[in-house]
Amino acid sequence: MAEYLDMQHQVIRQRLENAMQHWERGTEIQIQQFHARLDALLSANQQRLIALEEWRANGEDLTVDTRAEGVTEALEALQRDRMTEQEDQDLAALDRRLDEVQQAQAMERSQQRQHGMGF
């Protein structure tokens, strides 16, 4: 009976050791992933600081309002450009349509002359 209990203890001990190793491996992976995320955050913050230093070195104002105004102005410029391009396309389409109408009128007059001469 003692041998049976000793074998059961060994099986339980082996299962516990396997479970602990599995838990340790999982924990190590989670720690590595955590460190990778921290490194990525650190890198992103360093890039922001480098950009801020470049702006400061170029004499640019770093306030949020100024940067927001710059973005707003850039968006407005894009919208103006888009509107100008659309107007140019609309004018070109109107010009093509006018040419088509003039050609159709010229053909109609030509056909009327031909029919008028035929009578």
Euclidean distance between the first and the last CA atom of the chain, given in angstroms as a whole number = 131
Alpha carbon separation from 80 to 38, 54, 69, 112 (Å, rounded): 42, 29, 16, 47
| Residue 48, CA atoms < 13 Å, CB-side half-sphere | 7
Which tokens go with 45? Answer: 């913050």
Whether pTM > 0.85 for this model: the answer is no
Assign 66 a pLDDT band (cuts: 50, 70, 90).
low
pLDDT in tens, 7-45: 888 889 999 999 999 999 999 999 999 999 888 888 888
pLDDT at 55: 77
- DSSP run (H or E) holding 59: none
29, 21 Cβ separation under 8 angstroms? no
